[in-house]
Amino acid sequence: MTEINGAEVLVDRERLFKALPSGEGLHGIITTDRADGVLYVLSRYEDPEWWLPKSKSTGNQQDSGRKLDFTRIKGTQLQAEAKIVLARLIWGEHSLSNSSIKSAFHHLVSWLSWLREHGIYSQEQVTPLVAVRYVRYIHGLTSSHKPGKPLASITKWNKLSAVERCWQFLRDTPCGFDHPWPESSAYALSGHDGRSRQAKTDIIPDEVLRTLFQHAESLLRRADELLQHRDTLAAFQYRSKNRTDLNKEKARYLKTRGWDQGLRALNTTLRDLRDGCFIIILATTGIRAHELGNIRRDEWYSEDREGERIYFLGSRSDKTHEGKTSWLCPEITVQAVKVLERLSLPLQRELNQAMEAAKVAGDYEEITRLRSISGTVGLTKGWSQSNRINLLGYWGLNKCLKDFAKKLRLDWNLASHQFRRTFANYVVHHKLGDLRYLRDHFKHWSLDMTTLYAMNETQDLELYDEIYAAFDGKRHAIVGHWLEPDTPLSGGMAGHIRQMRSRSEKVRTYKDRKEMIEAISELVYLRSTGIAWCTNDTGVDCAGGQCEGCEHGCIDDTHKPFWEGLYLQQIELRQIDDLDDSSSKTVERTMERCEKVLTDLGVDINRLKEQLTDVDVI
């Protein structure tokens, strides 16, 4: 690899940039990277493959995500035109991430391949008619993941943008062409309207997440035992020479240590332990796959807040360019990170040895690669690349998660990105009073999320936005249900809501019902008391559990099971012979409260009493 200084890079780039329009003298430095303070050349313009710098990749991105292989484009002229476009894209005013450049290259290859298939060997032959034919072709494509389903509008936009990008970057060259669609744009032709849509990512069902989490936690409890077996095995001095005898000797030794399931079973269980730790971290923090990959040793901390120990997990977020970020987490998350640190220790030692070998060889690219993943807790060893140490990437992580779910016989196509939205959904349920979610799945996490997220300005604020986006969705659903004409209501707010229903029929001030619900929801503070919805945003004049009589309380049919259960309890209490006068009066008052609410909610009280009589309650 060639060492170079920054001045040489700038001079060469300026010369090459000026040479692009004429097509003469197109050779020189296209990309560079740095290792141990040394700047070196990654790729030259004339190379058939260009490599993007590791420094602009997310932590868990595979090396293939940095390669631009121009041999994928057939025809030397089309290859030459592609290089002009990519050079100007890389050197553009706005610094793009490697993934953005790689995506642009992928769509460019599709466009140029289509041209060649249709007998066009240079883009100077492109006319608006050719471009329109390409639009028709794109509209006829279907999703590779869901056969028969048309491409999403955003995908169409990205594909058509490749044509506009070529028009923009080739205008001053001999292969330039007129605007592909003079009266339109890629944006308009794609049908993409840019408005926010309902989230497409699935929320992991309760029963699936519960099974995943419980199994992961059971493995975490066995971590010390499993890692002791592994470490003891590594320190044992073996006599066997060939692999078969060596494995048998290891199995016999493990049996003397209390592990009688064999060597393969131990390795499989250790791998399951690693994947279970990934699931615990994803489920309890909502972090993205690459942020999980960027977690390094000892990147967590805790603080004492008024006698309560609060934990934070640190990592680096590349997607939003936030850099170092932290996430609020329960203690079990930190426990999972500590186990991953121990699991990855042998691979970290191998990485350190590989780093020294790369320094001796002067392999600056390998030094850069190893330095970028050193200290991470998601190290793995690849089979296809000379057994070298890598960071578990996005696709590798998802395969691990799917295998983990498959072993538990779960009928769910598990993926890492589902955990983020699932996390936000559970936090919203917690915010709205359903403590079951965080208590059952994440144990001791019962603190107020809003307060805690406001404590630390280095936290993942985008995740905070997603939590409140999910909260808004839940609030819109609740208010929308109230405004349905046949939804029974009780409580002090019920009358106001009924007036709102009739008013919305007479005054057409909203474009549609959805807009009306969103507008009204924004005006409503909402939390759950367990027996009702509370709209009191001040905390003053709270009725203290008497929600049915409070002007801020609204009870809808979703609360009916609670009030029926409370009514049943009072009837049972009334049958107790030795109740004193004060207790009897309390029971009678509570029964009156229940009867009022249940009647408002459409329950026939006499019929309910008959049903209770049928089961020998009275």
Range 514-532 average pLDDT: 65
Q: Are strands 553-556 and 533-534 parallel, antiparallel or unpaired?
A: antiparallel
pLDDT at 50: 94
Query: Contact, 44 vs 66, CB < 8 A?
Result: no
Pairwise pLDDT comparison (38 vs 323), residue with the higher score:
38
pLDDT at 611: 66
Range 565-581 average pLDDT: 83
Instruction: Indicate if the pLDDT at residue 455 is higher than 60.
Output: no
Most confident of 24-28, 30-34, 249-253, 332-336: 332-336
- What confidence tier does 127 reach under pLDDT thresholds 50, 70, 90? very high
Handedness of CA 381, 385, 388, 392 (dihedral sign): negative
* DSSP per-residue codes, 144-213: SSSTTSBPPHHHHHHHHHHHHHHHHHHTTSTT----SSTT--HHHHHT---------SPPPPHHHHHHHH
Instruction: Indicate if the pLDDT at residue 441 is higher than 50.
Output: no
Range 564-580 average pLDDT: 83
Range 282-301 average pLDDT: 90
Range 572-581 average pLDDT: 82
pLDDT at 446: 33
Q: Report pLDDT digits (tens) over 35-50.
A: 777 888 889 999 999 9
**Least confident span in 208-222, 266-280, 538-552:** 538-552
Range 285-300 average pLDDT: 89
Cβ-count burial of 38 within 10 angstroms (0-12 exposed, 13-18 middle, 19+ buried)?
Answer: middle
pLDDT at 471: 64
pLDDT at 506: 43
Range 114-129 average pLDDT: 94
Range 317-338 average pLDDT: 81
- What confidence tier does 193 reach under pLDDT thresholds 50, 70, 90? low
Alpha helices per DSSP H over 286-329: 289-293
Instruction: Indicate if the pLDDT at residue 458 is higher than 80.
Output: no
Angstrom distances, CA of residue 330 to CA of 89, 280, 444, 534: 43, 10, 7, 28
- What confidence tier does 522 reach under pLDDT thresholds 50, 70, 90? low
Count the helices and strands in the chain (H runs, E runs).
Answer: 24, 13
- What confidence tier does 618 reach under pLDDT thresholds 50, 70, 90? very low
Instruction: Indicate if the pLDDT at residue 102 is higher than 50.
Output: yes
> Which neighbouring-strand residues pair with 328?
312
Pairwise pLDDT comparison (98 vs 339), residue with the higher score:
339
Q: Crossing angle, helix 560-574 and helix 605-614, to 10 degrees?
A: 60
Residues of the chain above pLDDT 70, percent: 81
- What confidence tier does 92 reach under pLDDT thresholds 50, 70, 90? confident
Q: Report pLDDT digits (tens) over 56-86.
A: 776 566 777 889 999 999 999 999 999 999 9
Instruction: Give residue for tokens 């049919």.
Output: 557
Q: Report pLDDT digits (tens) over 402-431.
A: 999 999 999 999 999 899 878 877 766 554
Where are the extended beta strands (E) located within 428-526?
A: 489-490
**Least confident span in 189-193, 342-346, 526-530:** 526-530
Q: Report pLDDT digits (tens) over 239-279.
A: 777 888 888 888 888 888 889 898 899 999 999 999 999 99
Q: What is the mean pLDDT of the chain?
A: 81
Structure tokens at 161: 């943008």
Range 215-235 average pLDDT: 93
pLDDT at 495: 84
Range 466-489 average pLDDT: 76
Residues of the chain above pLDDT 90, percent: 33
- What confidence tier does 220 reach under pLDDT thresholds 50, 70, 90? very high
Structure tokens at 157: 């936009």
pLDDT at 267: 92
Instruction: Indicate if the pLDDT at residue 162 is higher than 90.
Output: yes
Q: Crossing angle, helix 394-407 and helix 206-221, to 10 degrees?
A: 90
pLDDT at 514: 64
Residue type, 7: A
Query: Contact, 423 vs 442, CB < 8 A?
Result: no
Angstrom distances, CA of residue 374 to CA of 278, 334, 384, 393: 18, 20, 20, 15
pLDDT at 542: 64
- What confidence tier does 470 reach under pLDDT thresholds 50, 70, 90? low
Where are the extended beta strands (E) located within 47-126?
A: 49-51, 67-69
pLDDT at 167: 93
- What confidence tier does 482 reach under pLDDT thresholds 50, 70, 90? confident
pLDDT at 469: 60
